[in-house]
Structure 1
Amino acid sequence: MAAPSRRSFLIQSSTLLAGAGLATIPVTQTQAEPAAGKINIALIGCKNMGWANLTSILKLPDVECLALCDVDDSVLNSRAAELEKKTGKKVALYKDFRKLLERKDIQAVIIGTPDHWHALQTMYACEAGKDVYVEKPLANSIEECLAMVAAARKYNRVVQVGQWQRSGPHFDEALTYATSGKLGKIRTVKAWAYMGYGKEFPPVPDEPVPAGVDYKMWLGPAPDRPFNKNRFHGSFRYFWDYAGGLMTDWGVHMIDMGLKGMKVSTPKSVQSLGGKLGFPEHADETPDTMQTVYEFDGFTLLWEQAKGIARGPYDRDHGVAFIGNLGTMVADRSKWEVFPEVENGKYLTDMMPPHPVQGNTLDLHTKNFVDCIKSRQKPNGDVEIGAHTAICAQLGNISHRLGRKIFWDSAKNVIVNDPKAEEMAKAHYHNGWQLPKV
């Protein structure tokens, strides 16, 4: 494969925000303002959430899609046909995202590729002058998270991360109530995902690369391995080469709501326990069962995950709970409600009926992205927010894989006095790809 780094990427230093914390520079405009006409976008990674994001954003009348990019011809061609049926227009098709980024008429891109691609594609897009909507988690390593924040700030780009609950009035209302004082002192936040799927995932033999798939491009910076369908498309997320399992799939959503509610970013320490306890014979590498405790000043945050079990805490398969001295507020994507503590036959706080979700939160999130392209303001799911949440997820997985507690220095953005953990926080690229230094 040819030299993979985007040929004009500018390297100004060899450090990634070392010792300075995550950047907080406001987004400013450095190219022609597109607000007067259509905002031209493109999609990189056309399956699953990439397509869902594009479908959502195209509900806005001032957005037009000019191009699609995917390494799998079957996905690319089927999505192109769907898009033509929807809009009546043909779009340009690419298998190499770098060619797409050379187009001057595209102002923004949606990135829906596997996690191990998010950093490179986002950074190259920022350098090319594109604003970016990138799927969660922001990145597949802590080093990538810091580099992506630096690139977004350097090139003055709007980067919205697909943590779409950040744009939801439903969650805003729930978190405002939870931290209003009505629950008393919040001592613990619990976040979880108990997913009923994944009961069958047997190992399968390697096989030839399917026709029409550019497998070398799909692998990109990941280790070179024979093609195996268990590692491809949606199930890639259960292998460390490309992702981080339920922690980086659902964890970044639910943990993010805990961070937002408590107005914190990253923890002081992390301890994870678990493993392949439910289905040890399965092909996946990531744990099907795990509990992670995050230490913050004045409270703890507990993450729980389980694959193949659908009945989680408070009889919900996913959610976040703020547990206070006077009661507990529980929220998921469908509703939020309050469970008061009881003392001497009396509720210690008001009993609240369930508050159902209103509207389509994904649509609100993509609209917020477009609004920020025009206004040059930070979006609801800004890259720095995505970095904080992804760092929490990565710290949890690193603790699990090492089997010990690890400590985080939020001022320096480093793991403290643990060389093995520090090495696991780095981006380890292969096949000639390199993480640009900003």
Structure 2
Amino acid sequence: MKTHESGRRTTTVNRRGFLRATALGAATVYGGLNVARSRAEAVPASGKVRVALVGSGGMGRGNLDTFLGNAEVECPVVCDVDDRMLAEAVSLVERRRGTRPATTRDFRRVLERPDVDAVIVATPDHWHALPTVLACQAGKDVYVEKPLATSIREGRAMVTAAREHRRVVQMGTQWRSGRHFAEAVACVHSGQLGKVSLVRGWAYHDWLPACPKRPDGPVPDGVDYDMWLGPAPKRAFNPNRFHFNFRWYWDYAGGLMTDWGVHLINVLLWAMGPQPPTSVMSSGGNLNADEAWETPDAQMAIYEFPDYMLVWEHKNGVGIGLNGRPWGMSFTGTEGTLFLTDAGFEVLSERRKAADEPKRFPGSGDARPAHVRNFLDCVKSRKAPDQDVEVGHHVSTVAHLGNVAQRAGRKVYWDAGAERVRDDAEADRLVGVDYRAPWTLPYYPKV
């Protein structure tokens, strides 16, 4: 027995007994929205999978390292606009495989190569859509970092390209392949919590690197800055906008809402189903005057769905969030509430059932190896992966809508069929993005 902060006793349960009690295996919740596909030129089940890396920063190298943990993976080429990042990726491949990959600053050179089966796209967010779409056109499968893109309409173009060219495209939200996340979703589906009408996700971060206001400056040696900007607006180089801190600038990303929010909203939607929201409102701002963020360092978004409400909140600079957890998710039902993090999950009964012991269920470790393994298996089988591009688009859309409401400064109403904001042309413009010439995105929806 263990004691919860409230004074209740808790019981740690084993997986086999828990899943038997829910009458739902993890396979039930993994299958949700997957649609099988096939193609004649699939990689042989026993063959090598030749994986290229586009975007060799920290996330890219972390993904590549996980891919190289699978014996069938080879890496013939790595790409980045920063020579220092390229050198680190080359060193990684040499260390893991004993071979030296080719290098390029231009992702299009990667897509021309016949010795590439799949591409990891781990660039800044504003560079997710175009490499993914062109990779699909070139016959390559894609593992793309989250969020799917910087806008909803770019995400739709990515789905269209993947479907038209019958490509396997997986978004890198690895918790979709995490065992204890699947078990928590199974618990929600089992009815143990009763009718769930409120779900929450939150991220309180006290560990992010500082982003103090800095003047513009020279482009670092070895960096193709115009290529780094790509379809984003032309701007003078500023170190705050480069590498990790690009996340906090609207030209390139959506802040914590799409950086961390996508991860947690992903699991909330996995449990609650594929229906879209009908409306969202958001409030927040930049409460830390010492930071140079454009995106909110504090934000709360409230989504209305047909049968429930979803609340997202984040705060930078502090580390204590809801229920004492720096980040997590909760599902509140008529019979109980489930709290979920990477460390595991806990089910608490409603107060009228105070005699029931809360149940704690341990975490299952890093989910990224399983997520990458799922992608590789699907490259061979041509089945849809755990986080198929359509699912990734749905999840990313919900996160983006929080930012649409935030930037518009008012509640917005969503027409999911048309993927438009209803009766609000100004807010609807935030659903898409304008590309800087000469860059254009195939399959971008006409509006």
Name the SS for the 1:84 alignment partner: helix
- The alignment status of 1:416 with 2:426, answered yes or no, reads no
Q: Count how many residue pairs are aligned between Structure 1 and Structure 2.
A: 412
- Tell me how far apart the structure 1 counterparts of residues 136 and 274 of structure 2 sit (CA, whole Å): 27
Structure 2 counterpart of 1:168, from 178, 181, 191:
178
Name the SS for the 2:154 alignment partner: helix
1:287 corresponding residue in structure 2: 296
| Aligned-partner residue type, residue 337 of structure 1 | E
- The alignment status of 1:49 with 2:56, answered yes or no, reads no
| 1:197 Cα deviation after fit | 2.6
Q: CA RMSD in A?
A: 1.6
| 1:56 Cα deviation after fit | 0.8
| Aligned-partner residue type, residue 270 of structure 2 | K
What are the equivalent positions in structure 2 for 1:359-378 lying under 5 Å apart?
359-378=365-384
**TM-score for both structures, normalised by structure 1:** 0.91
1:300 corresponding residue in structure 2: 309
- Tell me how far apart the structure 2 counterparts of residues 265 and 280 of structure 1 sit (CA, whole Å): 38
- Tell me how far apart the structure 1 counterparts of residues 366 and 97 of structure 2 sit (CA, whole Å): 21
- The alignment status of 1:85 with 2:117, answered yes or no, reads no
| 1:434 Cα deviation after fit | 1.1
What are the equivalent positions in structure 2 for 1:320-399 lying under 5 Å apart?
320-343=329-352, 346-347=353-354, 350-399=356-405
- Tell me how far apart the structure 2 counterparts of residues 98 and 61 of structure 1 sit (CA, whole Å): 27
1:144 corresponding residue in structure 2: 154
- Tell me how far apart the structure 1 counterparts of residues 34 and 226 of structure 2 sit (CA, whole Å): 36
Q: Is the 8 A contact 1:272 1:396 kept in 2?
A: yes
Name the SS for the 1:427 alignment partner: coil
- Tell me how far apart the structure 2 counterparts of residues 313 and 30 of structure 1 sit (CA, whole Å): 50
- Tell me how far apart the structure 2 counterparts of residues 98 and 307 of structure 1 sit (CA, whole Å): 37
- Tell me how far apart the structure 1 counterparts of residues 89 and 381 of structure 2 sit (CA, whole Å): 30
- Tell me how far apart the structure 2 counterparts of residues 416 and 305 of structure 1 sit (CA, whole Å): 27
CA 1:32 to 1:383, structure 2 compared with 1: closer, same or farther past 3 Å?
closer
1:315 corresponding residue in structure 2: 324
- In structure 1, runs of 5+ residues without a counterpart are 1-22
| 1:199 Cα deviation after fit | 7.3
- Tell me how far apart the structure 2 counterparts of residues 24 and 56 of structure 1 sit (CA, whole Å): 24
Higher alpha-carbon deviation: 263-272 or 365-374: 263-272
- Tell me how far apart the structure 2 counterparts of residues 372 and 25 of structure 1 sit (CA, whole Å): 12
Measured against aligned partners, the alpha-carbon deviations of 1:335-392 in whole angstroms (never above 9, x if no partner) come to 100122212xx427x4333211124310000000000001100000100011011111
- Tell me how far apart the structure 1 counterparts of residues 381 and 42 of structure 2 sit (CA, whole Å): 12
Aligned residues: percent identity?
Answer: 47
| Aligned-partner residue type, residue 318 of structure 1 | W
- Tell me how far apart the structure 2 counterparts of residues 359 and 192 of structure 1 sit (CA, whole Å): 20
Q: Is the 8 A contact 1:44 1:97 kept in 2?
A: yes
- Tell me how far apart the structure 2 counterparts of residues 289 and 166 of structure 1 sit (CA, whole Å): 26
- Tell me how far apart the structure 2 counterparts of residues 217 and 24 of structure 1 sit (CA, whole Å): 35
2:107 corresponding residue in structure 1: 97
What are the equivalent positions in structure 2 for 1:131-210 lying under 5 Å apart?
131-198=141-208, 200-210=210-220
Structure 1 counterpart of 2:434, from 410, 418, 428:
428
| Aligned-partner residue type, residue 130 of structure 1 | K
Measured against aligned partners, the alpha-carbon deviations of 1:51-71 in whole angstroms (never above 9, x if no partner) come to 111111111111111111011
CA 1:338 to 1:32, structure 2 compared with 1: closer, same or farther past 3 Å?
closer
| Aligned-partner residue type, residue 237 of structure 1 | R
- Tell me how far apart the structure 2 counterparts of residues 27 and 317 of structure 1 sit (CA, whole Å): 40
| Aligned-partner residue type, residue 307 of structure 1 | N
Higher alpha-carbon deviation: 238-247 or 51-60: 51-60
| Aligned-partner residue type, residue 149 of structure 2 | A
Q: Is the 8 A contact 2:211 2:245 kept in 1?
A: no
Q: Is the 8 A contact 1:408 1:415 kept in 2?
A: yes
- Tell me how far apart the structure 1 counterparts of residues 211 and 157 of structure 2 sit (CA, whole Å): 34
Q: Is the 8 A contact 1:223 1:431 kept in 2?
A: no
- Tell me how far apart the structure 2 counterparts of residues 97 and 412 of structure 1 sit (CA, whole Å): 32
What are the equivalent positions in structure 2 for 1:27-66 lying under 5 Å apart?
27-66=37-76
- Tell me how far apart the structure 2 counterparts of residues 64 and 423 of structure 1 sit (CA, whole Å): 42
| Aligned-partner residue type, residue 303 of structure 1 | W
| Aligned-partner residue type, residue 372 of structure 2 | T
Q: Is the 8 A contact 1:333 1:357 kept in 2?
A: yes
| 1:179 Cα deviation after fit | 3.0
- Tell me how far apart the structure 2 counterparts of residues 51 and 266 of structure 1 sit (CA, whole Å): 34
CA 1:351 to 1:89, structure 2 compared with 1: closer, same or farther past 3 Å?
same
Q: Is the 8 A contact 1:46 1:79 kept in 2?
A: yes
- Tell me how far apart the structure 2 counterparts of residues 109 and 200 of structure 1 sit (CA, whole Å): 32
Name the SS for the 2:45 alignment partner: helix
